[in-house]
């Protein structure tokens, strides 16, 4: 019904700005990647068919929201030695390691973290990957502000940070790593909400050696309702992208 409702709305729009939100809960990293690829490949196929056959079939836009079991992922520009434990230690910690095709270095995914994977066709919005990344950052910054946390960007560093102005003790709270082809996006963000931060001790997060990592729970002193945080994230996604989630 959710997808059918979105498709009905599409018929009235020149460019499809509807976002189909998939709330997947706790899924393996492999399952999340496979689902991303399925949606990504289907969108690319429509765009190629439009080009080759002079068609104007609308593409869909998706955001996958999920959590993963303990997982480390290394982006294509990362250094494998930023993983500080070996295969045996990974197994002992119940964690897995994946080298993947997104941008960025190494990061951690785990329970209590909101991972978001937008698979959207930027031709429906704007064809500017830098603007896209700034909008994702702003979505997180505005969400944190709604929960009483002041966050922002630090020049030359990826992610969203606390203490981003004075930088006495800057702490990363959200990591980003994206990929785009033919203006279709993959991968996305990882926001630490109720995350076990001990797992970050096994890596050099995002290749940055002199900065800390934090979570909403640590900063606010209490666990948060993940569904509530997800709802606020999607609200700001809608506003920034002038989109409609369904």
pLDDT of residue 13 exceeding 70 = no
Q: What percent of the chain has pLDDT over 70?
A: 92
pLDDT digits (tens, 9 = 90+) for 89-139: 999 999 999 998 887 788 899 999 999 999 999 999 999 999 999 999 999
In this prediction, residue 203 carries a pLDDT of 87
Which residue segment(s) compose the domain that 72 sits in? 2-245
pLDDT tier for residue 1 given thresholds of 50, 70 and 90 = very low
pLDDT of residue 228 exceeding 70 = yes
In this prediction, residue 4 carries a pLDDT of 57
pLDDT tier for residue 12 given thresholds of 50, 70 and 90 = very low
pLDDT digits (tens, 9 = 90+) for 41-72: 999 999 999 999 999 999 999 999 999 999 99
Closest CA to 122 of 185, 45, 38: 185
Domain count, the chain: 1
pLDDT digits (tens, 9 = 90+) for 167-195: 999 999 999 999 999 999 999 999 999 99
3-state SS string for the chain: CHHHHHHHHHCCCCCCCEEEEEEEEECCHHHHHHHHHHHHHHHHHHHHHHHHHCCCCCCCCEEEEEECCCEEEECCCCCHHHECCCHHHHHHCCCEEEECCCCCCEEEECCCEEEEEEECEHHHCCCCHHHHHHHHHHHHHHHHHHCCCCEECCCCCCCEEECCCCCCCCEEEEEEEEEEECCEEEEEEEEECCCCHHHHHHECHHHCCCCEECCHHHHHCCCCCHHHHHHHHHHHHHHHHCCEEC
pLDDT of residue 9 exceeding 70 = no
Identify the top-confidence range among 9-23, 68-82, 142-156: 142-156
pLDDT of residue 241 exceeding 60 = yes
The answer, as to whether pTM is greater than 0.85, is: yes
Instruction: Decide: 245 and 234 in contact? Cβ < 8 Å.
Output: yes
Mean pLDDT calculated for residue range 200-213: 79
Rounded Cα gap, residues 97 and 184, in angstroms: 26
Active site residue 206: yes
Of 6, 66, 174, 206, the active-site residue reads: 206
Q: What is the mean pLDDT of the chain?
A: 92
Who's near 130: CB < 8 A, 6+ residues apart? none
Pairing of strands 62-67, 151-152: unpaired
pLDDT of residue 154 exceeding 90 = yes
Find the CATH number of the domain harbouring 81: 3.30.930.10
pLDDT digits (tens, 9 = 90+) for 94-106: 999 999 888 778 8
């Amino acid at each position: 019904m959710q997808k059918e409702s979105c498709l009905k709305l599409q018929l009235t729009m020149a460019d499809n700005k509807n976002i189909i939100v998939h709330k997947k809960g706790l899924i393996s990293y492999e399952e999340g990647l496979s689902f991303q690829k399925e949606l990504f490949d289907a969108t690319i196929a429509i765009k190629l068919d439009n080009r080759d056959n002079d068609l104007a079939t609308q593409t869909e836009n998706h955001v996958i929201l999920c959590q993963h079991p303990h997982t480390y992922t290394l982006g294509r520009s990362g250094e494998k030695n930023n993983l500080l434990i070996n295969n045996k230690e990974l197994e002992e910690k119940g964690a897995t390691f994946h080298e993947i095709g997104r941008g960025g270095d190494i990061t951690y995914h785990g329970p209590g973290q909101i991972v978001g994977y937008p698979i959207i066709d930027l031709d429906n919005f704007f064809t500017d990957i830098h603007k896209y990344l700034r909008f994702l950052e702003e979505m997180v910054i505005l969400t944190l502000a709604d929960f009483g946390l002041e966050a922002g960007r630090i020049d030359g560093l990826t992610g969203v940070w606390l203490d981003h102005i004075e930088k006495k003790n800057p702490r990363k709270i959200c990591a980003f790593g994206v990929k785009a082809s033919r203006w279709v996006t993959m991968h996305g963000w990882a926001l630490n909400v109720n995350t076990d931060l001990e797992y970050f001790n096994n890596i050099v997060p995002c290749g940055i050696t002199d900065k800390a990592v934090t979570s909403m729970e640590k900063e606010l002193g209490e666990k948060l309702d993940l569904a509530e945080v997800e709802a606020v994230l999607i609200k700001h996604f809608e506003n920034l992208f002038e989109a409609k989630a369904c």
